[in-house]
Amino acid sequence: MLVRRILLLVPMMLGIVLFVFLVMQLSDMDPAAAYYKGANPTQEQLHAFREENGLLDPLPVRYVHFVGDLLHGDMGISVLTKSPVLDQVTTAMPLTIQLTLLGLGIAIVLALLLGVTAALYRDRLADQVIRVVSLTGVAAPGFWLALLMIQYLAVETGWFPTGGYVNPADSFTGWLESLTLPAFALSLPIAAQLTRIVRTAVVEELDKDYVRTAIGGGLPPVVVVGRNVLRNALINPLTVLGLRVGYLLGGAVVTETIFSLPGMGKLMIDAVQNGDPAVVQGVVITTAVCFVFVNLVIDILYLLVNPRLRSAS
C-alpha cells in the first residue's frame, strides 16, 4: 500500500504543476510589465523581453521548458528582484515550516486534551463547556482571532510583540514570543475541529465491550484509555489531520501577512501584488509538495496505528 501511495505521487505532482502553470499563464500577470515597472518601456522593449524569455513560444513548449527547469531545481528568476526564485523560497520556507509545525503541535495537544476530557465526562458540565468552546472555535475565522490577539495580548498588555520575527539562533525566547500568537491564531480553528472529532471517536470506543471487560477485570481506567482506547480512537482524527495540514499551510498566508512574518505566505502576497508570476508559481508548487509529503507521512502513521489495514495490504 505504501509503495502504491508513493507511486501515485508522480502523476499527482505532474497534475499540480500543470494546473499551476496553466493558471499563471491564463492570469493577467505580465512578467514584461513587471520587469519594467515604473520605467515606461516601449512596445519594442516589451516584445524583446518576451521573446528573450520564451514568453512568445507556444503554450506546450513553455510547459515542457517549465517542467524541465523544475526537474533541474530551477524555478525561474524573479522579474522584480532579478534573483532566483529558489533562493527566495528557501529563505522564506523555514519560517513557514516553523509556524506550521508549532501550530500543528498546539492543535494536536489542545484537541487531545479537550476531546478526551469531553468524552470521559460526556453529557456533564465539562463536556457541555468544551462543546460550546469548540463550536465557537470552528466558527471563528483565523484572521479575526489574529487581530483580537494582537489587540488584547500585544497592544494592550504588551505580553507579546505585535509582529516581526526573531531568529532562534539569535534568541530562543524572542523566537518563541514572535511565533506564539501567530501559531495560536493559526491552530485554534483546527484544534476546535479536531476536538469534536476526537470526542466522538473516544466516545464510540468507550462504549465497546472490550473496554468494559478490561475495566471490569481490574485494569485501571487510565491504563485502558491510554493504551487501548486512544490508539484505536486516533485512526479517524489522523485522517482528518492530514487534510487540515493544507489549511495550516494556506492559513499561513494570511497569518504571516497580519503579523509581518517574512515567510512563504508574505512572499506570495508580495509577488501577487507586484505581478511576479515566477515567485507565485514557486511558492504554490513548493507548498503543494509539502502538503503531499505531509499526507504521505500521515498515511504511514495511519498504517502504524491500524493493524487491520496492514493485514489487508
Interval 15-41: pLDDT, tens: 888 888 888 888 777 777 777 776 777
Q: Report long-range pairs for 146-149 (Cβ below 8 Å, ≥24 apart).
A: 146/181, 146/182, 146/185, 146/254, 146/255, 146/258, 146/259, 147/258, 149/181, 149/184, 149/185
Cell numbers found for residue 113:
486534551
Q: What is the pLDDT of residues 111-134, one digit of tens each?
A: 989 988 888 888 889 889 998 988
How much is the mean pLDDT over the chain?
A: 82
Q: What is the pLDDT of residues 194-248, one digit of tens each?
A: 898 888 888 888 777 777 777 777 777 777 777 777 777 777 777 777 777 777 7
DSSP, collapsed to helix, strand or coil, labels residue 218 as: coil
Tell me if 139 sits within 8 A of 145, measured CB to CB: no
CA distance 164 to 177: 10
Angle between the 235-258 and 264-274 helix axes, to the nearest 10 degrees? 50
Quick: pLDDT tens for 59-80. 888 888 888 888 888 888 887 7
- Which long-range contacts link 122-126 to residues 24+ away (Cβ below 8 Å)? 122/199, 122/203
Q: Do 239 and 309 form a contact (C-beta atoms < 8 A)?
A: no
